[in-house]
Amino acid sequence: MTDTLEIRDLHVEIEGRPILRGVNLTIRRGETHALMGPNGSGKSTLGLVIMGHPNYEVTAGEILLNGENILEMEADERARAGIFYAFQRPIAIPGVKLADFLRHATTNVRNPQRKEGEELIPMREFRAELKEKMSQLRMDPDFARRYVNDGFSGGEMKRAEILQLAMLQPKFAILDETDSGLDADAVRLASQSIAEIGGERMGLLIITHHDKLLEHNPPQFTHVILGGRIVETGGPELAAELHTKGYDRVRRDHPEASELNDRNNEVEQPQLAET
């Protein structure tokens, strides 16, 4: 049976404010889905909620991995169950070397039953694998000695996220604007790498505002999210349309969601204006 990640009627609030208002989405392993939508429509929220971020409150709905609800699982249990979220804004962990971080992460994800304190995967084996993956991504091996995301450029952070994806080999990966901040060559390389790493083997949910990433990873499905709801689902042609023409038509066709989206974003503005 193909692994399936299913999101059913998902409602999410943050600090009492609704952000997602009934999201439905099913991803099978091996499929590529694009998730598009204007700023503030809830794309990152969806990714973070699937990963298990504690600040978001799920008020209704379910997230099922092969039929099993994962909402009660902690983020690390979800990671071990095969879910990966590449952060739109990765977090720096000062003083922790990327290689050490990844060795521990890889060990845990590959042996979901591992108890705290048990052996990590052997250093030599790990190093060899890391080196190989880094060379595929054309990353300097010295990069692994730097502290996780600490002082990384925007592009370096995104490449480090792809490296982690390559090492952890999840069943499902949500890539949140993994193409932003990359220069033209890096985007091409990243796109190819993601296709190689993910492609057939993973279920991919690609969140993007650009079309480059999707060129190498043509989505079978394109979803448009607006005001916390998926308002349209189509094929690759929908992604192409949004790239060239923007969201005007979608907004016109879904005035209610469009208004909710704008209202969401407005809340922030008075605060911004004050400072």
Partner 1 sequence: METLQKIAFNRQGFDALMDLLEQPEWLQDLRREAWQHFECLSWPNHRDEEWMRTDIRAFKLDQYALVAGSSDSFPSGTLSEGVDLGGRLVTLDSMPRVCELEPQWAERGVLFGPLMQLVTEYPDVIRPHLMTKTYNMAADRFAALHAAFWSSGSLLYVPRGVAMKQPLHALLALSDGSADLSHTLVILEEGAEATLLAESCSVPSATNSAPGGFHCGGIEMIIGPGAHLRYVNLQDLGQGVWQFGHQKAVVHRDGSLQWTVGALGSRLSKVNQHVELVGPGASSQVNGVMFTEGKQHLSYHTLQRHTAPHCRSDFLYKAALQDNSRTVWRGMIKVDPGAQKTDGYQRNDNLLLSDSARADSIPGLEIEADDVRCTHGSTSGRVDEELIFYSRARGFTRQEAIQMIVTGFFQQVFDRITIESVREALGRAISRRVREYE
Ligand X SMILES: Nc1ncnc2c1ncn2[C@@H]1O[C@H](COP(=O)(O)OP(=O)(O)OP(=O)(O)O)[C@@H](O)[C@H]1O
The footprint of ligand X (CB under 6 A) covers: 14, 19, 37, 39-45, 55, 88, 264-265, 268
- The entry of Mg ion, ligand X, partner 1, none near residue 90 (CB within 5 to 8 angstroms by kind) is partner 1
Can you tell me the distance from the alpha carbon of 176 to that of 158, in angstroms, rounded to the nearest whole number?
Answer: 10
Closer residue to Mg ion in complex, CB, 43/103: 43
Phi, psi of 6, deg, nearest 5: -125, 125
Is the Cβ of residue 170 or residue 228 nearer to ligand X in the bound state? 228
Shortest Cβ distance from residue 70 to ligand X (Å)? 19
The rounded radius of gyration (Å) of the Cα atoms in the chain is 19
Given the complex with partner 1, which of 93 and 123 has the nearer CB atom?
A: 93
Smallest separation (angstroms) from partner 1 to the CB of 123: 17
Q: From CA 268, how far away is CA 42, in angstroms rounded?
A: 14
**Least distance from C-beta 179 to Mg ion, angstroms?**
13
**Contacting positions for partner 1 (CB under 8 A):** 51-54, 74-76, 78-80, 84-85, 87, 90-96, 100-102, 104-106, 108-109, 116, 147, 164, 168
> Which one, 44 or 264, has the nearer CB to Mg ion?
44
How many CB atoms neighbour CB 81 within 10 A?
18
**Whole-angstrom Cα distance, residue 24 to residue 203?**
16
Instruction: Give φ, ψ of 240 to 5 degrees.
Output: -60, -40
Q: List the single partner that 45 binds among partner 1, ligand X, Mg ion, none, CB under 5 to 8 Å by kind.
A: ligand X
Based on CB atoms, which residue is closest to ligand X, 18 or 236?
A: 18
Q: For the window 30-49, what string marks contact with Mg ion as x by the rule CB under 5 A?
A: -------------xx-----
Least spacing, CB of residue 9 vs ligand X, in Å: 18
Comparing C-alpha atoms, which of 184, 207, 193, 208 is closest to residue 160? 193
Helix, strand or coil, per DSSP, at residue 14: strand
Which span (18-26, 63-71, 88-96, 236-244) binds Mg ion, by CB under 5 A?
88-96
Q: What is the largest CA-CA distance in the chain?
A: 57
Q: Rounding to the nearest 10 degrees, give the CA dihedral for residues 156, 159, 163, 166.
A: 170
Describe the crossing of helices 123-136 and 98-110 by its angle, rounded to 10 degrees: 110
